[in-house]
Chain A
Amino acid sequence: MNESMGLPTHDADHDRDDASEAALLNAFGYPEPVWQRFVDAPRAGRFDASTPGVVSGRAGTPAARSVLSLQMQFDEHGRVVDARFRAYGCPSSIAVGAWIAEWSLGRSTDDMTGLSASTLRRELEIPEDRAHCALMGEDALRDLLNRYREKLT
């Protein structure tokens, strides 16, 4: 499924900084695509304020215990060269942020328009009771794309 979305496989893309450490035990039985990204959180963080070409998007509220913030760095052709995310929320929220950040690499805003919550749910195997995490991902990306377009005009 990852191939169908053009997502680099996780292990190829992310070098574990400490290979000697055993994996964190998935004691609560989260779906594996969620758990892997929750534990490793690839591209968690944010760009230095001086980084050129960065556009941000945000969704969620602290009261709902879910906030997702996305940052993408675009090149002069409007393609994503690097991306970061930060998430306050359950493991699914964190996984959604990590997934979008990875997926965005090399894509244009047109490529990214229309990424839906249902795609996120399918890719991350997010169950019905966590559908709101996928919706938050969709909303944060839409917010980012809107800001990108505002920047252009």
Chain B
Amino acid sequence: MTTAAHPPIYLDYAASTPLDRRVLDAMLPLMVEDGLHANPASSHGPGFRARAAVEKARAQVAALIGAEPGEIIWTSGATESNNLAIKGALEFRGLTQAHVVTSRTEHKCVLDTCRHLETRGVRVTYLKPGALGLVTPEQVIDALTPDTALVSLMWVNNEIGTVHEIERLAPLLRERGVLFHVDAAQAAGRVAIDLSQVPVDLMSLSAHKAYGPKGIGALFVRRRPRARLAPQIHGGGHEQGMRSGTLAPHQIVGMGAAFEILQREGAAEAQRLAALRDRLWAGLQSLPQLHRNGDPMRSAPHVLNVSFEGVEGESLRASLPDLAVSSGSACSSATQEPSYVLRALGRDDELANASLRFSVGRRSTEAEIDAAAARVCQQVRRLREISALWD
């Protein structure tokens, strides 16, 4: 068993990733006394230098997703990007008679934004995914109405890792003139994204899911054809008027460096992560009555979500203090409601509650995976021996 002296095995890279040392090295020069402290909007030498660092990072982020630098708008993170994309697009179009299509398994920040818009008169369709967590392009197309202004669908689900068929859906929406927003917070660097080929209009990105710093993200806003947004933060007209506020060059440079590393190493890393994920799943197979949540055929490389029959979720989480894993999305205590994502897949409350989301990342090792699998097997067996529902 592990005591407090041992650091927990971190298998929660889908919640957040540690800063890559190379990213830190890129950021540090901007944070010292004589660094690039000037406001990148200032018209003088130091300002121009800060501006150049910001623009280099913009190009690095754009390059990873096949976009142009001018299509990248800096935000505080994917939550703000999702808010800006959805509210901004709807406000620009006008809220009356507007309809939005999304799915029940989107991140809370998309769902809560849609709920907010409903209070302002927007109609929203929340599509129910199939049992494996997939919302198909056909489902989306069937849900469109003449008033549909926007479709918002995540590329990779954060809880179960299911990869939506964005490449197939995007052209269908373009043909019909419906704006398409994609939350790609979990996807960037883990699945291939090329927006020069896939006609997505708006796409949200996060740095801290990709070994960059927290507090910085981006929204891709397509220029041709132009996706138009009403700003949600008003001020000095930064970021083409779409997002005012003094830029944070150290954060921005960190995101750029992180995305540049992903562009070079992401494909090989994704293969390694998929192998670790599969190793973990194989390591759990000595336990009977497991249920893998999500679509094994369309799974992001870093996520494995498993429900354990016969054990109760809170006791399971309490039994694994030496594993940093999530159940559902990030939570602050062992006590929690069953995941709304797993419930949308049709899992009953008991199985939705007794689930763990493991997510592997850059620093994960085979030894960690083996230790984690052994630990989970041991504790699930122990709880099943105690359980009044297990024979």
A interface, CB within 8 angstroms of B: 21-28, 30, 38, 41, 44-45, 58, 60, 62-63, 65-69, 86-91, 93-94
Contacts and interface: CB of A to CB of B under 8 A. Distances in A.
Interface string B305-340: 000001111110111011000000000011100000
A91 B385 contact: no
28 contacts: A22-B1, A24-B1, A24-B319, A25-B3, A28-B317, A28-B321, A28-B333, A30-B318, A38-B315, A41-B382, A41-B386, A44-B385, A45-B385, A62-B389, A65-B312, A65-B314, A65-B350, A86-B386, A87-B386, A87-B387, A87-B388, A88-B387, A88-B389, A88-B390, A89-B312, A89-B314, A90-B334, A93-B312
A89 B315 contact: yes
A118 B384 CA distance: 28
Given A23-B1, A60-B388, A62-B389, 9 more contacts: A26-B321, A27-B321, A44-B386, A68-B388, A86-B388, A87-B388, A89-B314, A89-B315, A93-B312
A88 B310 contact: yes
Nearest to B335: A90
A86 B391 CA distance: 11
B365 interface: no
Given A65-B350, A65-B353, A90 B386 contact: no
Interface size class of B (residues with CB under 8 A): 20 to 34
Nearest to B332: A28
A94 B315 contact: yes
B336 to A, nearest CB: 11
A88 B350 CA distance: 11
B334 A28 contact: yes
A9 B212 CA distance: 51
* List of 8 A-B pairs having minimum Cβ-Cβ separation, nearest first: A27-B321, A25-B321, A86-B388, A22-B3, A69-B388, A90-B314, A67-B388, A88-B389
Contacts of A45: 385-386
Contacts of A60: 388
Nearest to B322: A25
Contacts of A93: 312
B349 A65 contact: yes
Interface string B129-149: 000000000000000000000
Interface string B1-33: 111100000000000000000000000000000
Contacts of A58: 388
Nearest to B4: A25
Contacts of A86: 386-388
A24 B318 CA distance: 9
